[in-house]
Structure 1
């Protein structure tokens, strides 16, 4: 009896995941093996308590007809003879079976270079950007990136160098094979095993005379990944199954030929065989699957390893607001517990910095904190959006993206361009109207500031990049030279977008004066085919030539359409990132199927609401800033300490260069002087972003040479720390005879009141008791004066993380 109990305990501990299994499932449900080289990996999924987990590696497999179909211990089915066999998987006392059909098991299908050989080269990494796929190739041998130019790759392998890379008379001696298995020294090392399926396929191809293949050969039209949205536990594993669908309706298992990458290896990694391994980090990651020119993804969710989030932890949560409801649903799925709401002083400072890029004054802080209105946060947001500083601050954000750059445009055009942008934001021009006006602008840059957009991006290629990345959130620049490695975009897409612009002509006047007008000719040619490319929007059809019309009108109409699949999503993602510290998609201008949003339902809802509200940018900001999620504390709890993508707490943001400089000026009471600008001009109001300023350069203002938001540096550096501590301009503001410290020191206010004023100015709050005690001690130091003590206190506040960060 004791022995039986001991054996049962050992068996249970050896396979704890088998407990509570209710059923099994096998994918694919009805495998078909056609041809002698066919195989099919089976995926066995166990169902337990409403959850699912992969048990392929632990399952035991059996074939009812081994003379028809064999099954390996790993669950790979191989053809033997024509007919049907039943394959059964057993795990945890449960079984499940599928019928496998075998056709033509002795016939090897003819090989096609693009369909059968390119995937082998891609899987081995031969045509990657770090090897023979880079622009200059490698050691005199160049392939197209990921095999997107089949014709050129075939020529490179078969014909270049007098065909020295292949030897049909002695296939095993071909350089392609001997280098791949490292029989001949190879800079890339061993890429294939001699006994691998891939090696045998290459050998057969060379032995058959390197056929290029019939153009009528069925080609892959889609790939399917199973599972598409696995919910996995921390430190668990999941096998993927990838199936290719061909133009003749047939299917083939390409799991071992596909290439895999993870978009967030801190949460989930993927090995070359398609096995996912999760880490201890909760959250989401996308496993990108690439096969030939097609891309798919499996979206992995890893909840916290704890009991389901209880309703008590979300008591009082405002599910009436769609943002709060959709975010809370994600927390519940991940089992994340949110931080509490931020206190009123923290919220007050945060929303000032986020909406108008300015610190609140001590009077504004005390007035707000004394307000007893239930909806005072909403009232505050509305009041800030109506202030002129709103247009100043958001103009700065857009000026970076639209490259308002005096060095490239000239002083006058840059000034007019900035004026036009600021007026648009000041009058809250609907975003669809803004796009129409910008994209179709023509005339003189002095009278129509928007036309200077075409001075900032003066070539059709540049405009293709600008429009796609800034307004569509799509990084199309890769497709200028080759097919996008992680998306569906190719050169036809890049040059189709560029083709909207070549008819825009210029006429130079005196000095820097330039006028833009639409001519009657101008085209873009495909760099490979040399054929004229017709204008085409992304996912659209080529535009037929219409005489006497401006092609940009068609582009503008598409951009401004309520059903445009890109524009609203890209804009709301940028605004969300600005307010919340992280985009729903990151990077914010790299939106693609293989880089999904951390909360796709929320991104869709925000985009729909933005369109429904008439493309109203202020309304969008108000919607986000009045949500309960926006008002959370940045202090983490035990559950969300490592959450960096689900907004269970506020994410701290370093103040941008201009906002921080203005904050230093406001707190010290000493303004900054900018060459050629009126006294009192704030840094966020500068239209000339290259005015000399060591402070702004140190804290990462961009050069405005690209459309990437990454050009503005948000990281904290040692140079920044030293600048705030020691830079003479900052210290001069602290010790200014007319600054805040000097005025407070000369007043009759008690030291405690003086300290309170400094805290209100720098932190937007009153000091805590311990802080007040330490600050009062500065007045008691030997030799200290009221002014020196106040300077020391303010210096310490300016050099604290609480001042430099928006929290």
Structure 2
């Protein structure tokens, strides 16, 4: 009995300390993250930025269009935070951001994000959707959470992207001990003696790592591209010897057999690549040889596919769409090749690629323009593309907007557990967007109702010592500062003169309490169209 009482008192004390710590704002905010200004000043970094910017300027001149004006630093910070961490900048981070000289704000913010575990976790989840989808896979053979955690560690350490991909394709071992093998084990099919499916693996490899739809030639020659059915069968044959044994994923022996869909006749297929066979090494297992071929610097697709995906994560849409079809008849911006060459020349450094994209003129353009150039402006990226927030971005943004401090791994464990549960419950109701398709599909009526009347928004705007609106009510010097703090927390910008005047009057309304007025303000901002879009 005394142990139960002691445990109960311990929980009460822990909860009390957490509450007290969050009631009292820190006397001194978190120390500013370090950043590396030299990374942005090297000649080759600046040359790549200059060349990419120049390629777009030539395009605009040829089309006779005027790009939009530059966005504000706060708008760029919001884009970066949503794209790389799936959440808004906190009010605490905004104060730190604005304490720096204007020219240092964006470089510092980029490096602040790249040093934050939230970036690695979110970026890894986005990559996971590309390489294994959103499926749960066979329970006995697939551990999604372990796979994402491993991938997040690799991203956080800035492991070269080609090394990550080689591990995914060629690793051996048990999926619980060697998380990279989950890329293979997710395709295991119980009805086929619990063996990996070479066709599914080959299709995912070509789309995720090469950005080509070679699997469209699975049953017949590709109707629009040069790929033949034999090309895909030869590619799948590299995984024909991959099996599951007591040692996990291993490479055995034997031929890869396919069955003709018309005649049902079976035939053996030898491993072969569809292009650049001279890049395929002669030594190693079949999967090791293929992994080396895919990530070879002279492979015409690997670096471009990676750049296109990172661009899409940052911008909300790829440079070339669809993201898994670089063999398109449509226009391909010259910037893709410039960035791909730089990516390969610098050891497939993901952080460098992110820094370059974030410093480009096209990334820092405003999403609004005073002149109307129609589709040409959007097609030539003369304007930053408006994209609807993904479900996990919505959940992360609501949770962050409702807290004046940063919701990260330094938050108290009880708060982190509470937010984890709240986010999962919200996503179940709001819906998941599935694999990364970047199709910018519209929102639904149930999603809007979830925001307007859902449990998460209701809990995060009610008067509570843990919520931002209550903290702002207590700490803001006057109504103007309260309104400004709410706008910064929710929209990462300050209110216009008209907005400020309107909500100041609302806070002075004698028919409702100041706390209720702030609650109404937060509800209005979170349910605004502006909150739901990246811009």
Which range, TM-score by smaller chain?
0.7 to 0.9
Q: Which residue of 2 aligns with 1:535?
A: 271
Structure 1 residues 373 and 725: CA distance shift in structure 2, 3 A: closer
SS of the residue corresponding to residue 132 of structure 2 reads coil
Distance 2:517 2:430 in 1: 28
Q: Which residue of 1 aligns with 2:352?
A: 619
Q: Which residue of 2 aligns with 1:717?
A: 444
CA offset digits 1:762-786 (Å, max 9, x no partner): 1112222111111112223342101
Q: Which residue of 1 aligns with 2:500?
A: 772
Q: Which residue of 2 aligns with 1:653?
A: 387
Query: What is the CA-CA distance between 1:749 and the residue it aligns to?
Result: 3.4
Give the alignment of 1:600-679 within 5 angstroms. 601-642=334-375, 643-669=377-403, 679=414
CA offset digits 1:75-102 (Å, max 9, x no partner): xxxxxxxxxxxxxxxxxxxxxxxxxxxx
Give the alignment of 1:86-105 within 5 angstroms. none
Does the CA contact (< 8 Å) of 2:280 and 2:292 recur in 1? no
Distance 2:438 2:215 in 1: 16
Does the CA contact (< 8 Å) of 1:473 and 1:590 recur in 2? yes
Distance 1:328 1:393 in 2: 32
Is residue 413 of structure 1 aligned with residue 146 of structure 2? no
Distance 1:692 1:526 in 2: 46
Is residue 491 of structure 1 aligned with residue 222 of structure 2? no
Give the alignment of 1:32-43 within 5 angstroms. none
Structure 1 residues 662 and 721: CA distance shift in structure 2, 3 A: same
Count residues in correspondence.
470
Is residue 798 of structure 1 aligned with residue 502 of structure 2? no
- Bigger RCO (CA 8 Å, 6+ sep): 2
Q: Which residue of 1 aligns with 2:293?
A: 558
Query: What is the CA-CA distance between 1:419 and the residue it aligns to?
Result: 2.0
Structure 1 residues 397 and 714: CA distance shift in structure 2, 3 A: farther
RMSD: 3.0
Q: Which runs of 4+ in 1 moved over 6 A?
A: 542-546, 682-686
Query: What is the CA-CA distance between 1:442 and the residue it aligns to?
Result: 0.6
TM-score, scaled to structure 2:
0.81
- Structure 2 unaligned segments of length 5 or more: list them: 1-46, 188-195, 408-412
Give the alignment of 1:81-160 within 5 angstroms. none
Query: What is the CA-CA distance between 1:492 and the residue it aligns to?
Result: 0.5
Please point out which of 179, 199, 217 is paired with 1:479.
217
Q: Which residue of 1 aligns with 2:33?
A: none
Query: What is the CA-CA distance between 1:797 and the residue it aligns to?
Result: 0.4
Query: What is the CA-CA distance between 1:478 and the residue it aligns to?
Result: 2.1
CA offset digits 1:326-373 (Å, max 9, x no partner): 011111111111001012221222222223223112232233234325
Distance 2:165 2:503 in 1: 52
CA offset digits 1:518-541 (Å, max 9, x no partner): 112241326267331111122145
Q: Which residue of 2 aligns with 1:431?
A: 161
Structure 1 residues 593 and 763: CA distance shift in structure 2, 3 A: closer
Structure 1 residues 695 and 713: CA distance shift in structure 2, 3 A: farther
Give the alignment of 1:354-393 within 5 angstroms. 354-393=83-122
Distance 1:593 1:664 in 2: 38
Structure 1 residues 542 and 459: CA distance shift in structure 2, 3 A: farther
Does the CA contact (< 8 Å) of 2:235 and 2:272 recur in 1? yes
Q: Which residue of 2 aligns with 1:570?
A: 305
TM-score, scaled to structure 1:
0.55
Query: What is the CA-CA distance between 1:574 and the residue it aligns to?
Result: 1.1
Distance 1:391 1:580 in 2: 18
Give the alignment of 1:243-392 within 5 angstroms. 321-392=50-121
Is residue 696 of structure 1 aligned with residue 430 of structure 2? no
Distance 1:438 1:719 in 2: 38
Distance 2:359 2:94 in 1: 19
Distance 1:629 1:695 in 2: 34
Structure 1 residues 553 and 748: CA distance shift in structure 2, 3 A: closer
Of residues 588-597 and 710-719 in structure 1, the stretch that sits farther from structure 2 once superposed is 710-719
SS of the residue corresponding to residue 248 of structure 2 reads strand
Q: Which residue of 2 aligns with 1:448?
A: 178
Please point out which of 315, 318, 323 is paired with 1:580.
315
Instruction: State the structure with more CA Rg.
Output: 1
SS of the residue corresponding to residue 444 of structure 1 reads coil
- Structure 1 unaligned segments of length 5 or more: list them: 1-317, 509-513, 673-677
Which structure features the higher share of helix residues? 2
Q: Which residue of 2 aligns with 1:507?
A: 245
Distance 2:116 2:293 in 1: 33
Give the alignment of 1:705-744 within 5 angstroms. 709-710=436-437, 714-738=441-465, 739-744=467-472
Distance 1:506 1:542 in 2: 31
Query: What is the CA-CA distance between 1:683 and the residue it aligns to?
Result: 11
Does the CA contact (< 8 Å) of 2:132 and 2:204 recur in 1? no
Distance 2:137 2:125 in 1: 17
Which structure features the higher share of strand residues? 1
Does the CA contact (< 8 Å) of 1:584 and 1:645 recur in 2? no
Does the CA contact (< 8 Å) of 1:395 and 1:425 recur in 2? yes
Distance 2:464 2:257 in 1: 63
Is residue 788 of structure 1 aligned with residue 519 of structure 2? no
Does the CA contact (< 8 Å) of 2:430 and 2:450 recur in 1? no
